[in-house]
């Protein structure tokens, strides 16, 4: 029997190839940076119900991922010398989002957890977050494999957390949902009592869908950096995206009120995630120290 990861990679590759086959690539292919300069548009993947990363607000989208996508938009505006518009491209599933980026039909997606399998099809920017797989569970359940034996656990199709739970809690039954909004609604309406997912996503949404439940266990089942992704072989866009992300993290470290307000409203003190400013600063500083110059305030 084929390995599950191999099957998923094959399926994703097929989706990418089917999208790419619709158009014949010219001998000298237009890069994403070329296209942004020509169209003055930066197309970004968004998915409703994906707080703290992105969710629909009125006619637009807001969230932590959108803060970093906006910084990339600003960097591209400065680079091209023309106003670049950030255009949301809603998707219904994770697979649609990855297929759009991998085929080059969409320019960027932020708030994406890293995996080696995914990196075969897209390029990751500097990370701006760290998350991992945990669960929203009824009070009294500690979220360990033993406590989940025989339970039905909701997961989002093609998510890193679905893989983690399938591998580490084999005695549970997984209930897949097409997207984050459907999974949250399943928990809210009582279709499921357990929901596995990205820790920051669970913390950001718990109070609105299961206020009497807890996010467990204390130590996540896995850890993954959270970043933006761009189509492969687009070093110009990747470099400018990294610069934009680094600027916002640096501004936060240097106590810039605007930068701190933008980040804190989604994951900082007083938010549903409620991370301390010191914790956020430490993470941002560690990222910059591995890849860039860190300018102390």
Domain final residue, candidates 170, 188, 216: 216
Pair 59, 124 in one domain: yes
Q: What is the pLDDT of residue 295?
A: 72
Domain final residue, candidates 194, 216, 238: 216
Which whole number is the average pLDDT over 162-177? 96
Pair 124, 136 in one domain: no
> Would 297 be classed as within a structural domain?
no
Pair 35, 172 in one domain: no
Pair 120, 155 in one domain: no
Average pLDDT over the chain reads 90
Domain final residue, candidates 181, 216, 251: 216
Which whole number is the average pLDDT over 84-108? 95
> Would 22 be classed as within a structural domain?
no
pLDDT cut 70: percent of the chain above it = 89
> Would 296 be classed as within a structural domain?
no
pLDDT digits (tens, 9 = 90+) for 7-56: 343 444 444 434 334 334 444 588 999 999 999 999 999 998 899 999 99
> Would 259 be classed as within a structural domain?
yes
Pair 195, 260 in one domain: no
Domain assignment of residue 249, given as a range: 4-17+27-129+224-291
DSSP states along the chain: ---HHHHHHHHHHHHHHHHHTTSPPPSSPPPHHHHHHHH-EEEEEE-TTBTTTBEEETTEEESHHHHHHHHHHHHHHHHHTSPPEEEEEE-SSHHHHHHHHHHTSS-BEEEEE--TTGGGTEEE----EEEEEEEEE-TT----TGGGTT-EEEEETT-HHHHHHHHH-TTSEEEEESSHHHHHHHHHTTS-SEEEEEHHHHHHHHHHH-TTSEEE-SS-S-EEEEEEEEETT-HHHHHHHHHHHHHHHHHHHTT-HHHHHHHHHHHSTTSSS---HHHHHHHHHHHHHHHS-----
Which whole number is the average pLDDT over 255-281? 98
Pair 123, 242 in one domain: yes
> Would 124 be classed as within a structural domain?
yes
Domains of the chain: total: 2
Pair 122, 161 in one domain: no
Pair 10, 107 in one domain: yes
Pair 118, 9 in one domain: yes
Which of 1, 4, 6 is CA-nearest to residue 170?
4
Pair 139, 202 in one domain: yes
- Sorting pLDDT into bands at 50, 70 and 90, what band is 88? very high
């Amino acid at each position: 029997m084929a390995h599950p990861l191999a099957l998923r990679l094959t399926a994703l590759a097929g989706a990418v190839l089917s999208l790419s086959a619709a158009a014949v690539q010219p001998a000298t292919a237009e890069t994403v940076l070329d296209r942004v300069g020509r169209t003055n548009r930066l197309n970004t993947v968004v998915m409703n119900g994906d707080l703290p990363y992105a969710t629909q607000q009125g006619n637009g989208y807001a969230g932590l991922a959108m803060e970093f996508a906006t910084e990339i938009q600003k960097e591209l505006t400065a680079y091209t010398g023309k106003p670049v518009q950030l255009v949301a491209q809603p998707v219904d599933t994770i697979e649609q989002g990855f297929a759009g980026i991998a085929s080059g039909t969409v320019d960027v997606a932020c708030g994406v957890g890293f995996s080696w399998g995914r990196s075969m099809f897209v390029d990751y920017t500097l990370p701006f977050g760290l998350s991992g797989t945990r669960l929203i569970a009824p009070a009294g359940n500690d979220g360990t494999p033993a406590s989940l034996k025989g339970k039905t656990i909701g997961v989002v199709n093609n998510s890193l957390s679905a893989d983690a739970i399938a591998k580490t809690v084999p005695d549970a039954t997984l209930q897949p949902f097409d997207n984050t909004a459907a999974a949250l609604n399943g928990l809210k309406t009582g279709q499921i009592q357990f929901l596995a997912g990205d820790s920051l996503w669970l913390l950001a949404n718990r109070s609105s869908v299961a206020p009497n439940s807890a996010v467990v266990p204390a130590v996540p089942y896995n850890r993954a950096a959270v970043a933006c992704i761009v189509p492969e072989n687009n070093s110009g866009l990747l470099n400018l995206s990294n610069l934009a992300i680094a600027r916002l993290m640096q501004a936060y470290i240097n106590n810039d009120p605007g930068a701190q307000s933008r980040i804190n409203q989604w994951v900082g003190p007083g938010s549903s995630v409620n991370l301390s400013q010191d914790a956020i600063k430490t993470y941002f500083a560690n990222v910059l120290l591995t890849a860039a110059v860190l300018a102390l305030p």
